[in-house]
Structure 1
């Protein structure tokens, strides 16, 4: 009787709405349920409840910091047990064009290894479905254990968010009030509404990314992520578990391919698979070894879409792709979103008072926490936005000096251990 009465009288400290049941939204929900154990958390998503996301093949590169977050959430062991992840133990960056003025006999390159950084791995590679399916299962289990506090509403698109004096009103067929709303549903650059200052900045790089999978030779080093700067744009190979890349069923070492080229002078579009394979073998550093097969490729436009503020209208927050969509040159888009999640929950937890006397007290606490969150996140966010924007735009101009600048930059990073260590730490954990 006492237990039932306690349940009926339940009144959460804070109510949180999360828009989007992708990896960022589900990660926020799972971590918020632990960091704010008495909160009411509702996740909204437009996709049907019976839609299976486990087979979504989109490739994600996770930094070590993101892997550690997933370990703390208790889902990484389940993800790894599926055998569909690959560790990144080395990153190799080089440039196809010769670097004028470079004094060394060999062309400049950067090699960052987990061993020299004193970590077990620099990160990991897996598919979108491999990540989202366990996160979704973990959140559904949490909802089943705490149904009064936690919920997941599939097939419920959020049509609008309206600021109120005490929080946010969510329009999802019916109007519901929450203390805080987090938008974690970003999509891709081509589908996003473009921003103008002062709301934010949008920039079409006039580049496209061709993505797919390639087969590598048996003696290719395992666990190495390669990035190659070419005259048309950056190209990357990310390690994958062994498997096949075509219908013939032949298996072997594989890598995910991200091949960025200029949209107006696309050297990939008119090529067949055999021709693409020939070009790829001339493109990457000799250390990659022969690429023996390539899957059919898909094409995506590339651009920058970044909101100036992470917090708007009092208690509406944007994280991940909803806050910024980046060029894939650094492979940090999802990791940036995970750092948003970590910092948002840290700010809410640190600013939380022992008790709130009124609804207005709670609103002030949340606003104070959100100001702290935004202040802490902007340096890391701005640094990564500026870096990826510079690199992406450097491929849109034919001036040879830009290739020289990139090459000299690679040489400086490779030669200066403190600088390389700084780059490595930012790659794993962000700019702190």
Structure 2
């Protein structure tokens, strides 16, 4: 069969699908990385708990692996509060074996006297959070998706979306059409859904690039995480599960673009030497580095992460600088808020109607209202941290060093910092 024949057959198949009646679903999710996959499984659990059958579709271009931008070789820290929510959704029991606990966090300001620690035992906890590798998490989540009755379109790409009065009409690259009462965009900062509707996205360029890698050390990490502020930006080291008996940490290093480019292509020994110089020896000696990745650091957000019968969650709604490790944790709070709104809709509208309208203006606006304060506060705090800890302007250096020291000298001051780090609304 020639390439032209294959193309013609694919086109014929796509046209045949478009002549079929569209699939009718209650919720269609575009994007199946952490936020989208978690939401889909959370919706399925909610449907079963309330005994209200929901038709759910998930559209994702890649299965977990090196080609998947959301389930690649990076690691993320899942805050204590986020783990609580994942337990509530019934998902953490499937992921717990992949986690490496963070029991202590050391925060320091390179070249200055400011430093402090957060310790789980001070808050009567086993850990402050867990570090997971995204690719391994993705494989577990996709097994759950494939074993469910969720309509999983993978590989699948959204090629067209049409807003209609009572639904959003989606067309996929294979010609499949889906009519959904509620469309959820979980497709990242370059959201195709946002672009299709020409909705505004505000961005702030920090003129920094994150260099990401897994690094081996010559001594166990003992479940310590480190955040070290340098004149180019923060340098974070997170504990990971050992590999072949070797202690590993996950590195996120914020640099100016030219330095990031140089270090990404530098010889491994040269890279490790410069990393050691910037970080010091609190984590031991860095002995080996894996493949290095980089991505620009931006603060992006949609002023109104809703549209007609559409909501935006996770990185589609906002992307954060990794300085405080809050990206996924904020996105998880997005989807938990959406689940709560949907639950209330099912319990109220569904009691008097045969089927609740999950894409109504009440749903989208209640979601918007529920997320406003948390989003604004988190983004403001992140911008403050980046501006305050990424320069050598001496009044700021003195102020931040004193602030870090005060946290050590006056332990009660750590509670607000710990609440932010763990995603808790309150601490006993």
Q: TM-score, normalised by structure 1?
A: 0.81
1:57-72 equivalence runs, <5 A: 57-72=73-88
The answer to whether the Cα contact below 8 Å between 2:167 and 2:359 also exists between their aligned partners in 1 is no
Deviations 1:60-119 (A, max 9, x none): 2111122233333444333344xx431111111110032xxxxxxxx2322111111122
Q: Does 1:43 align with 2:58?
A: yes
The equivalences for 1:1-150 within 5 A come to 15-36=26-47, 37-47=52-62, 56-81=72-97, 84-98=98-112, 107-143=113-149, 150=150
C-alpha distance in structure 2 between counterparts of 1:388 and 1:95, whole Å: 17
Pick from 268, 273, 276 the counterpart of residue 278 of structure 1. Answer: 273
Secondary structure in 2 aligned to 1:159? strand
When residues 50 and 307 of structure 1 are mapped into structure 2, their CA distance, relative to the original with a 3 A threshold, is: closer
Q: How many pairs does the alignment contain?
A: 393
Deviation at 1:272, TM superposition (A): 2.3
Deviation at 1:378, TM superposition (A): 1.8
Q: How does 1:179-218 map to 2 (within 5 A)?
A: 179-186=181-188, 199-218=200-219
For normalisation by structure 2, the TM-score amounts to 0.82
In 2: Cα distance, 1:258 partner to 1:188 partner: 22
* 1:273–1:296 CA contact under 8 A, matched in 2: no
CA, structure 1 residues 358+75, in 2 after alignment: closer, same or farther (shift >3 Å)?
A: closer
Describe how 1:295-374 pairs up with structure 2 within 5 A: 295-313=290-308, 315-352=309-346, 353-355=348-350, 362-363=356-357, 366-374=360-368
1:186 to partner: Cα distance: 0.4
Match of 2:151 in 1: 151
How far did residue 168 of structure 1 move?
2.0
CA distance in 1, matches of 2:71, 2:334: 26
Contact 1:383 1:431 in 2 (8 A): no
1:206-238 residue CA offsets vs partner (Å, 9 max, x unmatched): 1111111222232x4411110000111110100
Report Cα offsets for 1:325-377 as digits up to 9, x if no partner: 11111111111111111111111212432537679x94488422332222222
Gaps of 5+ in 2: 1-22
In structure 2, the residue corresponding to 1:211 is in which secondary structure? strand
**C-alpha RMSD of matched pairs (Å):** 3.2
Higher mean displacement: 288-297 or 176-185:
288-297
Distance in 2, matches of 1:325 and 1:337, equals 9
For the residue of structure 1 that corresponds to 2:209, the secondary structure is: strand
Given that 1:210 and 1:258 are in contact with CA atoms closer than 8 Å, whether structure 2 keeps it comes out as yes
Which 4+ runs in 1 deviate beyond 6 A?
A: 48-55, 191-194, 356-359
**Change in CA separation of 1:136 and 1:409 when aligned onto 2, cut-off 3 Å:** same
SS at match of 1:342: helix
Counterparts of 1:298 and 1:64, CA distance in 2 = 27
Tell me: CA distance 1:396–1:49, structure 2 relative to 1, closer, same or farther (3 Å).
closer
For 2:18, the equivalent position in structure 1 comes to none
Give the distance between the partners of 2:320 and 2:71, measured in 1 at CA.
24
Deviation digits for residues 172-224 of structure 1 (CA, Å, limit 9, x no counterpart): 234432110101110579x9999xx9934212211111111222232x44111
Q: For the structure 1 residues 407 and 285, does the alpha-carbon distance in structure 2 shift closer, same or farther, using more than 3 Å as the test?
A: farther
- Structure 1 residues 159, 91: closer, same or farther in 2, change over 3 A? same
Q: How does 1:164-243 map to 2 (within 5 A)?
A: 164-172=164-172, 173-186=175-188, 199-218=200-219, 220-243=220-243
How many angstroms apart in 1 are the aligned matches of 2:265 and 2:339?
A: 48
Deviation at 1:13, TM superposition (A): 12
Alpha-carbon spacing, 1:165–1:330, altered in 2? closer, same or farther (3 Å): same
